[in-house]
Chain A
Amino acid sequence: MTDLSIPSSQSTPAVEGVWEQGLLRMEGDSYPENSFDFFSPVILWIEGFLTRTQRPLTLELRLIYMNTSSVKAMMDIFDMLEEAHREGRQVRVRWRYDPRNERVVEMAEDFREDCTFAFDIEADEADEARGAY
């Protein structure tokens, strides 16, 4: 019904929500001063999707560095997905990372520990060519 598009900035990731496909992408670093403000529209979009449709929802993440307040906001998002999953909804997270940066895997695994829905953490070989961090 409504798509979401937030361009990336120095300290915030690019966000793209495609309503028809039930797909939310987030990519980049996240360390805004006020993570609560930044993540509010994202949380509202997911909430809207989960209440107004019955379709599956997939989160495609390529988040790299996150400050602790972004981690907290992300945990709120995964809690919403977990609740939906327990109510029988089909939700899935795919977290892709640069294989040279194992810290991202550790962070993603920290999140996955608290989730029972499908949560894949996949090395992205294409990142080898790029130079991040």
Chain B
Amino acid sequence: MDHIDLYSLREQLSRHRILLCFNGPISQSLIEEIGNALKNYLQVEQIQPSAAMDVFGVYIELTQNIRQYALARGYGEHEAAATVSVARDELGHYIVQAGNLVEAEDGRALLARVADLAGRDKSELKALYKEQLRRPRETQAGVGAGLGLIDVARKAAQPLCASLTPVDEQRAFLSLRAVI
């Protein structure tokens, strides 16, 4: 087995100004622990409390969406995995990215949803959020990531980006990116 070149991994993390990253099976308690680490970073950086809460909120919604999706699809513990990174760009924006394996069909539906949200302004997003909030729980598809995604779009400073990388015949890796 090849040795992992930790130095080059470190270089790559530094180059992308990544504060925090995680890859592997994810549970609610792990989401909370990583969330704690994130809160501490944000406190050290002394950013506005409201901005810190937005970054934290986007991280929570994206990772909980991944958990919900895996549960809804009946994935096993190892398939309920996530790849998450939080970075800070030169302009001081925080970039939260979260990815997971999905059924290719679900992934395509989500890309369409993200594209739809990207075309809406803040007041339209608010109206959509309220409409979704009023929808009964039973009619909210577990795989649609409805309310959470709109919430992330409302908190983001730029339209959300999503990409899909095919892994095999059925599955693809879905990656979502929010700039706050």
Residue numbers of A with Cβ under 8 A of B are 10-11, 31-33, 36, 64-65, 67-69, 71-72, 75, 98, 100-104, 110, 131-133
Contact = CB atoms under 8 A, between A and B. Distances in A.
30 contacts: A10-B32, A10-B36, A11-B28, A11-B32, A31-B64, A33-B31, A33-B64, A33-B67, A36-B137, A64-B53, A67-B57, A67-B148, A68-B61, A68-B147, A68-B148, A68-B151, A69-B64, A72-B133, A72-B137, A75-B134, A100-B49, A103-B49, A103-B50, A103-B53, A104-B53, A110-B126, A110-B130, A133-B39, A133-B43, A133-B53
A65 B53 contact: yes
Interface in B80-132: 126, 130
Contacts of A103: 49-50, 53-54
- Which of B39, B43, B50 is the most central at the interface, judged by chain A CB atoms within 10 Å of its CB? B50
Interface residues of B, number: 27
Given A10-B32, A133-B39, A133-B42, A98 B49 contact: yes
A131 B44 CA distance: 12
B63 to A, nearest CB: 10
Nearest to A102: B50
A64 B49 CA distance: 11
Interface in B29-86: 31-32, 36, 39, 42-43, 48-50, 52-54, 56-57, 60-61, 64, 67
